[in-house]
Amino acid sequence: MKKHILVHGRLTDVQLAQLGEHFEVQVCQGATPAEDPAFLDALPRAHGLIGSGLVITPEWLDAAPNLEAIATISVGYDGIPVEELTRRGILLCNTPDVLTETTADTGFALILAASRRVVELADFVRRGDWQASIGEAQFGSDVYGKTLGMIGFGRIGAAIARRGALGFGMRVLYSNASPKPALEQELGAKRREMDALLEEADIICVTVPLTAETEHLIGAREFSLMKPSGIFVNIARGRVVREADLIAALEKGQVRAAGLDVFEQEPLSPESPLPHMPNVVALPHIGSATRETRDAMAQRAVDNISRALQGQRPISLVNEEAWRP
């Protein structure tokens, strides 16, 4: 009998056909799995689960006694209780590497847009307010030659820093759990304690994963250390930052501008002031959202789950401890 895979997320027809060669595949269409009765009904039969933005609860796991593997279509897995999966012998697979460069492009787009006021001034033109030559009131700040402070210096952090150092002549500082000597060598990057980095950098970019340690890592105290001319970019996860403190820091002029791809609550609440602040560039969590990259992420998830359910080691395995060769 074929094993059963439950899919919640966008797979191409070719990818669905690839899964269908070896598995029984059920695609769920609800906005979120939790809102989809068909998804919940199918859990008891599922051997594999593919999805993006999955928030896995112990109740789901109790309802899925046959589950062998979960493949998230993302590199982050903050909504998934990894230790609980490991305890139950369920493999967790993610999609690193294939989204690194695209997400770094989005991060750098936010650095440029917030520094040079691209969105605010495009709106100025759209409104018909461009009536005379622009002056000081429309000036932004340079990116070229500035000091870039990376909070998190893994795959995406390094790719953003590479753009800054090699493309924009930037000096790179980083704060990261472990030292990165190869990147120090490649980019001339210097490691700093986070407080020193906040004080020294002109542009700060967050790329740490959301964990118990990094939740609300950046708040009022950290914003108070930044230069008033500073630019703050978050391309990681919204809950790494205390959003109310960021809003206050922007209002008080402790931080000049922010570029945000991620928020504490997504989609962003209609009550949030952030999209209405002229010095904020807010994007709808599009870090990896290009056709090519989303297809590559889905393909990685398909390959991961196929391998896991056929007894082969998945390409990107998060919980090595759960792997039984």
Residues within the interface to ligand NAP (CB under 6 A): 75-76, 96, 99-100, 103, 152-157, 176-178, 207-211, 213-214, 235-237, 261-262, 285, 287-288
* Known catalytic residue at 285: yes
Q: How far is CA 294 from CA 95, 235, 288, in A?
A: 10, 17, 7
Residue placing its CB nearer to ligand NAP in the complex, 20 or 179: 179
Q: Out of 285, 294, 300, 307, which one is annotated catalytic? A: 285
Distance from C-alpha of 217 to C-alpha of 43, rounded to nearest angstrom: 35
Nearest residue to ligand NAP, by Cβ distance, number only: 154
Q: How far is the CB of 194 from ligand NAP (least distance, A)?
A: 8
Residue placing its CB nearer to ligand NAP in the complex, 96 or 140: 96
Helix (H) or strand (E) segment spanning residue 91: strand 91-93
Q: How far is the CB of 236 from ligand NAP (least distance, A)?
A: 4
Task: Confirm if 36 and 16 have CB atoms less than 8 A apart.
Answer: no
229-254: b or e for each residue (b if 16 or more CB lie within 10 Å)? Answer: ebbbbbbbbbbbbbbebbbebbeeeb
Nearest residue to 80 (alpha-carbon basis) of 63, 61, 60, 57? 57
Q: How far is the CB of 185 from ligand NAP (least distance, A)?
A: 16
Q: How far is the CB of 54 from ligand NAP (least distance, A)?
A: 13
SS3 1: coil
Nearest residue to 297 (alpha-carbon basis) of 288, 307, 287, 285? 288
Which residue has 């504490």 as its token pair?
A: 264
Residue placing its CB nearer to ligand NAP in the complex, 21 or 320: 320
* Known catalytic residue at 47: no
Q: Out of 59, 215, 251, 266, which one is annotated catalytic? A: 266
* Known catalytic residue at 221: no
Residue placing its CB nearer to ligand NAP in the complex, 81 or 209: 209
Q: How far is the CB of 80 from ligand NAP (least distance, A)?
A: 12
Nearest residue to 232 (alpha-carbon basis) of 210, 264, 211, 261? 261
Start-to-end CA span in the chain (Å): 22
Residue placing its CB nearer to ligand NAP in the complex, 64 or 198: 198
Q: Out of 4, 171, 237, 307, which one is annotated catalytic? A: 237
Which residues are known to be catalytic?
237, 266, 285
